[in-house]
Amino acid sequence: MIDLHTHSLLSDGALIPTELVRRARVAGYAAMAITDHADASNIEDVLKKLIKVARQLNADKTFRVIPGVELTHIPPRLIPLMVKKARSLGARVIVGHGETLSEPVEPGTNRAYIEAKVDILAHPGLITDGDARLAAKNGVHLEITTRAGHSISNGHVAALGKRCGALLLLNTDSHAPGDLASAERALKVALGAGLTEDDFKKMQDNANAIVKKIRV
């Protein structure tokens, strides 16, 4: 299991990064990105701390910890600047907080993150056909999520993503220990979204391809 969207207490998660990683390892994960919520107020501090922890934990080379951010509730006009800033500060994975149906995300957010070429558009809600096609063109991964609330649009995202040729990922958006998902549970979420076991394997292959390209 590879999970590229999780949170520690550096934002609104329950665990320090080291414990989050330890619990993920015990749960059978091979790699994970810690992508704490960020905007202009905290992005420098969050990334500095996550990069430090990742370097320490990656020293034994038995598990990959990837420092990243989830840019969250950023006004669409500011998204290109924030994505550029996150890259310059060392974010190895950038998640854009998409237009989930469970929060009041500003319209146009999905398109702005796709145009800025983030790595992952998280829980993109009722993403449009045009945005899904642009995501496919720009190599932006669309997220299927195990997280309650955000997951209510999984079926729409899965069907549209496949039809438009977009890359899909399955992540947990973990904020607490109980949010980490076994491969068995993750597969059930994928099947519940109308995907197949082959689609689930492809999503893990997509995640593995991201991890392989990253140097930490």
Q: What average pLDDT does the chain have?
A: 97
Q: How far is CA 134 from CA 33, 130, 138, 166, in A?
A: 24, 6, 6, 8
Using one digit for the tens of pLDDT, what is the confidence trace for 110-167?
999 999 999 999 999 999 999 999 999 999 999 999 999 999 999 999 999 999 999 9
Length of the chain, in residues: 216
Q: What angle do CA 114, 120, 124 make, to 5 degrees?
A: 70
As a whole-number percent, the residues of the chain with pLDDT over 70 amount to 100
**What whole-number distance in Å separates Cα of residue 72 and Cα of residue 148?**
18
Residue appearing with tokens 């292959």: 205
Domain range summary for the chain, segments of one domain joined by +: 2-213
pLDDT at residue 173, as a whole number: 98
Encoding tokens for residue 66? 């990837």
Using one digit for the tens of pLDDT, what is the confidence trace for 84-116?
999 999 999 999 999 999 999 999 999 999 999
Q: What does the pLDDT average to over 179-208?
A: 97
- The helix (H) or strand (E) run that includes residue 45 is helix 43-57
pLDDT confidence tier of residue 215, bands split at 50, 70 and 90: confident
As a whole-number percent, the residues of the chain with pLDDT over 90 amount to 98
pTM of the model: 0.97
Q: Domain 2-213 is of which CATH architecture?
A: Alpha-Beta Barrel (3.20)
Please check the confidence at residue 216 and state whether its pLDDT lies above 80: no
- The helix (H) or strand (E) run that includes residue 216 is none
Torsion angle, alpha carbons of 86, 79, 110, 184, to 10: 20
Using one digit for the tens of pLDDT, what is the confidence trace for 26-39?
999 999 999 999 99
Q: What does the pLDDT average to over 28-57?
A: 97
Cβ burial 93-131 (10 Å sphere, 16+ → b, else e): bbbbbbbbeeeebeeebbbbbbbbbbbbbbbbbebeeeb
Contacts of 178 (CB under 8 A, 6+ apart): none
List of E strands, the chain: 2-3, 31-38, 64-71, 93-97, 120-122, 141-145, 168-171
